[in-house]
């Protein structure tokens, strides 16, 4: 697969639209175990990204600079706990695609592995804590071996997404150990984690976008 800087900007644009569509749903999830703002915080961050894509990044063709600027913009715009988490993911991913205008399958795997590792290191949450890491960790753990075996990005990402989805859904049964919802203790059981949900949506949006918008190179 060939994924260009234009594709990367196009992907972020699709995320912006997706977050607007899912804003109420993400807030509703956060109302059950948090303060009800997850959809709003994500929307604020991605709308700031929208402005930067149309302005500073309009002619940028370095995937590293694009993802770095998107991460920094998100960080500056968002006050809640997801600000530094997603921003670190975007900035760590950026480092793996520095000075690249066209990304191949290996670059895309490196990007997403660094992204999820960045979130993990920043938040210090692990699988089972009822956070976005319940989506990202099973995703990363299955993406790498599948790609090492097949060397094909789309089927490997697709495969890893099944594990990400199971991880997201598993948060319903978990007691929160991190972030605002951990204050609820046992009362957090029965509700899906909003951050695990937005993390899954961001990943699934990437797969759908990569499948439909980038040039397939055999
Ligand atoms: P806040 O909790 O500040 O209101 P949001 O509502 O925007 O922020 O985001 C809440 C989400 O952040 C949670 O659902 C959880 O997935 C994620 N989260 C919180 N703390 C951590 C952490 N330490 N590591 C990973 N994810 C976290
Ligand atoms: Mg919240």
Q: What pLDDT shows up at residue 218?
A: 38
With a cut of 50, say whether residue 188 has pLDDT above it.
yes
Structure tokens at 16: 């912006």
Instruction: Round the CA-based radius of gyration of the chain to a whole number and report it.
Output: 16
Query: Does ligand 1 have an atom closer than 6 angstroms to the CB of 130?
Result: no
Query: Does ligand 1 have an atom closer than 6 angstroms to the CB of 194?
Result: yes
Give residue-wise pLDDT tens across range 30-47.
999 999 999 999 999 999
Give residue-wise pLDDT tens across range 107-124.
999 999 999 999 999 999
With a cut of 50, say whether residue 53 has pLDDT above it.
yes
With a cut of 80, say whether residue 172 has pLDDT above it.
yes
Q: How confident is the model at residue 74 (pLDDT cuts 50, 70, 90)?
A: very high
Give residue-wise pLDDT tens across range 91-103.
999 999 999 999 9
CA dihedral (175, 179, 180, 182) positive or negative = positive
Right CATH number for 3-217 from 1.25.40.340, 2.60.40.1730, 1.10.10.10, 1.10.10.60? 1.25.40.340
Taking the centre of ligand 2 as the mean of its atom positions, its distance from the CA of residue 153, in whole angstroms, is: 33
What percent of the chain has a predicted confidence (pLDDT) above 90?
Answer: 96
With a cut of 90, say whether residue 215 has pLDDT above it.
no
Query: Mean pLDDT for the chain?
Result: 96
Which residue from 77, 79, 132 has its CB within 8 A of the most atoms of ligand 1, so it is best to mutate? 132
Give residue limits of the domains in the chain: 3-217
Q: What pLDDT shows up at residue 213?
A: 74
* pTM value > 0.85: yes
Taking the centre of ligand 2 as the mean of its atom positions, its distance from the CA of residue 149, in whole angstroms, is: 39
Q: Which atom of ligand 1 is nearest to the CA of 133?
A: 25
Q: Which ligand is nearest to the CA of 179?
A: 1
Torsion angles phi and psi, residue 3, rounded to 5: -120, 115
Rounded to 10 degrees, the C-alpha dihedral 63/140/114/147 comes to -60
Query: Does ligand 1 have an atom closer than 6 angstroms to the CB of 131?
Result: yes
Query: Does ligand 1 have an atom closer than 6 angstroms to the CB of 96?
Result: no
């Amino acid at each position: 697969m060939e994924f260009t800087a234009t594709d990367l900007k196009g992907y972020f644009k699709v995320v912006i639209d997706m977050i607007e569509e899912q804003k109420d749903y993400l807030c509703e999830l956060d109302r059950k175990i948090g303060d009800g703002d997850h959809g709003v915080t994500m929307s604020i961050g991605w709308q700031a990204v929208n402005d930067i894509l149309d302005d500073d990044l309009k002619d940028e063709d370095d995937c590293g600079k694009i993802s770095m600027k998107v991460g920094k913009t998100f960080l500056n715009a968002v006050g809640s706990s997801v600000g530094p988490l997603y921003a670190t993911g975007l900035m760590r991913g950026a480092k793996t695609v520095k000075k690249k205008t066209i990304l191949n399958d290996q670059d895309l795997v490196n990007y997403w592995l660094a992204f999820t590792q960045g979130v993990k290191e920043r938040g210090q949450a692990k699988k089972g804590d009822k956070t976005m890491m319940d989506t990202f960790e099973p995703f990363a753990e299955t993406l790498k071996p599948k790609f090492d075996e097949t060397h094909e990005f789309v089927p490997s990402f697709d495969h890893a997404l099944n594990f990400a989805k199971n991880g997201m859904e598993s948060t319903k049964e978990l007691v929160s150990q991190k972030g605002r919802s951990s204050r609820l203790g046992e009362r957090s059981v029965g509700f899906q984690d909003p951050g695990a949900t937005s993390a899954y949506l961001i990943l699934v949006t990437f797969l759908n976008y990569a499948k439909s918008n980038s040039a397939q190179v055999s």
